[in-house]
């Protein structure tokens, strides 16, 4: 076994040990809560109880088990998060290009772009819902705004990171603007775009779940609130907690995976 492979194996082992340690801490906490609180499942149930509820075929509401509720509502929420994410990424991409191409656009919009970062956009979700009167549109708009900012700023950084010599080379070839953008500027900014997308993906999901909680109907957030109000089994809540955490982490991993597809030289680096 090579030294490098041995190291990466130890790294994986360390992470597994940490996860096991976290599980132990959780279980100790759950045991304490079990003895001291009146309704322990509301505060901190055992992990085994949560897992059990996933596979339980007990109907919780509307002829659905707890897990079926989570899955069907997740589809509704995540689809909107995804659409908003794509719109936001597209808009961020175009604005970064415009800011790079036209100094006037950059100067006029840059302070506002910075402000989006400082403004609690999630706090504005209720008003977006009030204006659009449509829960789906609100999910999409909020997810799009949250995606838009990291993509635009990161891509602008990427466009600005292009070395002067690479421009000189393009100029010495009398390359057209189209060539300069497609062969130099956009490929250079791809890793930067992906660092923006990696920040944005979990945020878009959080945003979409939050918007759910603002209105009845369907969606992960709605089920989460209802479960908290004891309108249905509390285990729906616990399942949503773990489900949304997993999806959040997976969305990040998905972006890392997409990045590898778009940058073959990074793959070559890993294989070396």
Partner 1 sequence: MDKHNRSRLSSVVLPLLLGLAVIILWQSQLLHRMIDADTFTLPLPGRIFNIIVENIGKILINMKATVTVALGGLLMGSLLGYLLAIIASAFPKWGTGGLAVVSSFNAIPIIAIAPILNNLTKDFSRDPNVRSMLAKTLVVMITCTVSMSVNAYRGFTELKPFSEDLMKSFAASKGTIFLKLKVPNSVPYIFTALRVSVPASVISAMVSEYFAEYIIGVGRQIRENIVLAQYATAWAYIVAAIVIGVTMYLILLAVERASMKGRP
Partner 2 sequence: MANANETEINIKGLCVNFPDKDNGGDIQALKDVNLAIKEGSFVSLLGPSGCGKTTLLRSIADLQDISSGIISVKGKTPKETRLSQQYGIVFQSPVLYEWRTVRRNICMPMEVIGLPKEERTRRVDEVLELVGLTEFGRKYPHQLSGGMQQRVGIARALALDPEILLMDEPFSALDEFTKEKLQIDLLSIWQKTKKTILFVTHNIQESVFLSDDVVVLSPHPGRVSAVVNIGLKRPRDLAIRETAEFAALVSKVRHSFEGIYE
The residues binding partner 1 (CB under 8 A) are: 10-11, 14-15, 17-19, 22, 37, 42-44, 104, 107-112, 115, 117-124, 126-127, 129-131, 202, 205-206, 209-210, 213-214, 221, 224, 228, 237, 240-241, 244-245, 248-249, 251-252
Select the binding partner of residue 161 from partner 1, partner 2, none (C-beta < 5 to 8 A, by kind).
none
Select the binding partner of residue 169 from partner 1, partner 2, none (C-beta < 5 to 8 A, by kind).
partner 2
Select the binding partner of residue 222 from partner 1, partner 2, none (C-beta < 5 to 8 A, by kind).
none
Min dist. Cβ of residue 95 to partner 2 (A): 23
d(CA 212, CA 79): 13
Min dist. Cβ of residue 41 to partner 2 (A): 52
| Residue 177 binds partner 2 (CB under 8 A) | no
d(CA 29, CA 89): 41
Select the binding partner of residue 147 from partner 1, partner 2, none (C-beta < 5 to 8 A, by kind).
none
Q: Between 32 and 173, whose beta carbon lies closer to partner 2?
A: 173
CB 139 within 8 A of CB 205: no
- Residue that is written with structure tokens 């340690």 in the block: 21
Q: Between 122 and 175, whose beta carbon lies closer to partner 2?
A: 175
d(CA 50, CA 235): 6
d(CA 151, CA 93): 7
> Which residues inside 147-176 make contact with partner 2, applying CB under 8 A?
163, 165-166, 168-176
Reported as type and span, the H/E element at residue 57 is none
Q: Is 10 exposed, middle or buried (0-12, 13-18, 19+ CB in 10 A)?
A: exposed
Residue 65 pairs with which residues in a beta bridge?
Answer: 59
d(CA 121, CA 179): 37
| Residue 211 binds partner 2 (CB under 8 A) | no
Q: Where are the alpha helices (DSSP H) in 37-176?
A: 40-43, 47-55, 66-101, 103-118, 125-132, 135-160, 164-172
Residue 64 pairs with which residues in a beta bridge?
Answer: 61
Residue 213 structure tokens: 């909680």
Q: Between 108 and 231, whose beta carbon lies closer to partner 1?
A: 108
Residue 125 structure tokens: 């979700």
Binding track over 182-201 against partner 2, x by CB under 8 A: -xx--x--x-----------
Select the binding partner of residue 120 from partner 1, partner 2, none (C-beta < 5 to 8 A, by kind).
partner 1
Min dist. Cβ of residue 258 to partner 2 (A): 15
- Residue that is written with structure tokens 């209105």 in the block: 215
Binding stretches for partner 2 (CB under 8 A)? 163, 165-166, 168-176, 179, 183-184, 187, 190, 263-265, 268-269, 272
């Amino acid at each position: 076994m090579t030294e490098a492979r041995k190291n990466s194996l130890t790294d994986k082992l360390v992470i597994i040990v940490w996860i096991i340690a976290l599980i132990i801490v959780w279980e100790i906490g759950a045991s304490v809560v079990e003895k001291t609180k009146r309704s322990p499942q509301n505060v901190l149930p055992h992990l085994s109880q949560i897992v059990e509820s996933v596979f339980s075929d007990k109907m919780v509401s509307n002829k659905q088990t707890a897990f079926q509720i989570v899955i069907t509502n997740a589809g509704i929420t995540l689809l909107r998060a995804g659409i908003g994410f794509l719109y936001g990424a597209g808009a961020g991409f175009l604005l970064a290009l415009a800011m790079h191409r036209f100094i006037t656009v950059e100067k006029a919009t840059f302070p506002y772009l910075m402000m989006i970062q400082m403004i609690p956009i999630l706090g504005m979700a209720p008003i977006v819902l009030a204006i659009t009167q449509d829960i789906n549109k609100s999910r999409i708009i909020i997810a799009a705004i949250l995606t838009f900012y990291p993509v635009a700023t990161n891509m602008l950084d990427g466009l600005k990171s292009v070395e002067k010599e690479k421009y000189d080379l393009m100029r010495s070839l009398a390359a057209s603007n189209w060539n300069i953008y497609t062969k130099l500027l956009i490929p250079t900014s791809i890793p930067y775009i992906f660092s923006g997308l990696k920040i944005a993906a979990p945020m878009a999901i959080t945003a979409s779940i939050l918007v759910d909680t603002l209105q009845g109907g369907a969606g992960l957030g709605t089920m989460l609130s209802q479960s908290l109000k004891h309108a249905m089994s509390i285990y729906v809540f616990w399942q949503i907690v773990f489900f949304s955490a997993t999806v959040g982490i997976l969305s990040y991993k998905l972006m890392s995976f997409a990045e590898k597809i778009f940058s073959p030289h990074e793959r070559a680096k890993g294989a070396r």
